[in-house]
A and B are shown apart, each in its own frame.
Chain A
């Protein structure tokens, strides 16, 4: 087990290292940021000074190495736009994003569980079809459109919930639902097929023969084993969630990493871009690593594969 965890850890770090190079190159390619931060009247000399001050005149390799060295200590430089340490901006926005992601994940689980289990138990009936439609609909609706419709109807006309920003629990509901619904389909489908397989197995039949109440057979005996495939894909859902959050946070004016990324890219604030992409990737990597470990714990066979 320790060996397995170690191998996966090294692999994740390697992936992050490759990513840091890509991000660095891409961020440099977004054009000269000085055009954005210096006033129109700036002279050649002002440009040279600013370039030297920000370290942009040094060779790329040197810039990259110093970037990595400082990034490892949590120092991502200074935002070109906000003129504040990038680490500070990230620290301020990250908790908001994590909370929204956690809330959205909870929403999608709360939807996927009953839908998946009911669809399997009532396979081929109207309930099954209705559950599948609800799930596929979420996957087929563009999140930003759902967001606009919800803001207009629930926040605007009905005035039930706030339209955006972050203020208390109520402000989580609309963005969390928009984001969560999008990933229900995959999870629900996994649960449904897992349940179908398990409900047909010998041990479930035995439980029924022994007279265990049907509700207990379904929700305890069967569900436990149908959960395993869901755990494997939890990492993938999470990364889809993180990506989609950029759009959802922008529409709901949510002060999170996604919105920060959008703002940073539109103002070519590349220290921020680098930091956001790397933080996001690191979070996805950590989640995937933990998922793999949990999976290896539940299902020992996986430790010896590869």
Chain B
């Protein structure tokens, strides 16, 4: 990237960004806490079958609503207690991290790939192509995500794939908008003009020159959006339009415990805590990435 000659503002900003990253990595605040939280949940998701102390779907009605271990009647067998059907909450939360993390990461990757593509094409071509693509982007942005997902859930039935599609179908618009804005600035710079004079094709300019210069923004946006998607997925599962039971999903676990909050608070509380930890970690990591990679992106 730095090999581009006469890159104007972009070429100048790159060493500065590198220096910031190095400074950020060397000293100052490092996202140790958020990275460790994410690592713990990723491990839990990957090795759920080894790590979870019990079968997440095994019912034991006699042991229903066992409180967490620190309660007088709690046992180490069910460290976080059991739910309405006597299922072990800790195991269900560990298995639930698989659902939440895959949904979050998969959705955001799909949305960012498509959105960045639209943004690159719109920004590169400009004119009518840009106008049409941006109108579609605006229309998409004005569609409430949760409404679409609810409609899809009743249409095709709630499933993991539908949740991912429903969220990605709306989410790409953010990427398209932001990336297009960046491409517009890049298009005015000398190195793009030079690439054109040198006879580079449209696809070459987009993939070799424009895309690499928007990667920082993409990484920041992707990280910040994973948390948002996990919340939306959980909200959908909570409303009964997400991942259908008996698959353990944090949102539906909270919904299942909702009627028993007064007598058995832990059933709803712990899955919520899990969501909070993961989303907080991704948000903090995203904030840190933005401050180090691309401080000009104030609001994403």
Q: Using CB atoms and an 8 Å cutoff, list the residues of chain A in contact with chain B.
A: 11-12, 14-16, 18-19, 22, 26-27, 29-31, 132, 136-137, 139-145, 148-149, 151-152, 156, 185-186, 189-190, 193-194, 229, 233, 239, 242-244, 246-247, 250, 261-262, 265-266, 268, 273, 276-277, 280-281, 284-285, 288
**Does B234 count as interface, using CB distance less than 8 angstroms?**
yes
Contacts of B268 in A (CB 8 A): 145, 148
B16 CB-CB contact with A under 8 Å? no
Residue B135, interface by CB 8 Å: yes
Q: If A265-B154, A277-B147 touch, does A247 touch B238 (CB 8 Å cutoff)?
A: yes
Q: Are A136 and B155 in contact (CB under 8 A)?
A: no
In the complex, whether B216 has a CB less than 8 A from a CB of chain A is no
Determine whether B23 belongs to the interface, using a CB cutoff of 8 Å to chain A. Answer: no
Given A136-B283, A239-B142, A242-B144 in contact, is the A145-B254 Cβ separation under 8 Å? yes
Q: Counting CB contacts under 8 A, is B128 at the interface?
A: no
Mark the stretch among B50-58, B60-68, B186-194, B273-281 that contacts chain A. B273-281
Q: Are A189's CB and B299's CB within 8 A?
A: yes
| CB-based nearest B residue for A281 | B142
Secondary structure type dominating chain A contacts: helix
How many Å lie between the Cα of A40 and that of B261 in the bound state?
37
Kindly supply a per-residue 1/0 record for chain B positions 114-155, scoring 1 wherever the CB is within 8 Å of any chain A CB and 0 otherwise.
000000000000000000000110110111111110111111
Which of B136, B239, B262 has a CB less than 8 Å from the CB of A262?
A: B239
Give the docked Cα–Cα distance between A30 and B155 (Å): 4
Residues of B within 8 A of A (CB-CB), count? 42
Contact A140 B262 (CB under 8 A): no
User: In the complex, A30→B149 CA distance in Å?
Assistant: 12
Contacting pair B135 A15 (CB below 8 A): yes
Q: Does B26 contact A (CB under 8 A)?
A: no
State the Cβ distance, B281 to closest chain A Cβ, in Å: 8
Q: List 16 A-B contacts (CB under 8 A).
A: A11-B138, A15-B135, A16-B142, A19-B142, A22-B143, A29-B155, A30-B151, A132-B287, A142-B235, A145-B254, A246-B144, A246-B146, A246-B147, A262-B150, A265-B150, A280-B144
Chain B residues within 8 Å of A18, by CB:
135-136, 139
Would A143 and B298 count as touching, CB distance under 8 A? Answer: no
Name the B residues within 8 Å of A148 (CB-CB): 254, 258, 261, 268, 272
Q: Does B160 contact A (CB under 8 A)?
A: no
Bound form: Cα–Cα A273–B269 in Å: 32
List chain B residues, Cβ under 8 A from A26: 148, 151-152, 155
Q: In whole Å, how far is B297's beta carbon from the nearest beta carbon of chain A?
A: 10
Query: Chain B contacts of A280 at CB under 8 A?
Result: 144, 147
Residue-wise, chain B 1-45 has the 8 Å CB interface mask toward A (1 for contact) of 000000000000000000000000000000000000000000000
B227 at the interface (CB under 8 A from A): yes
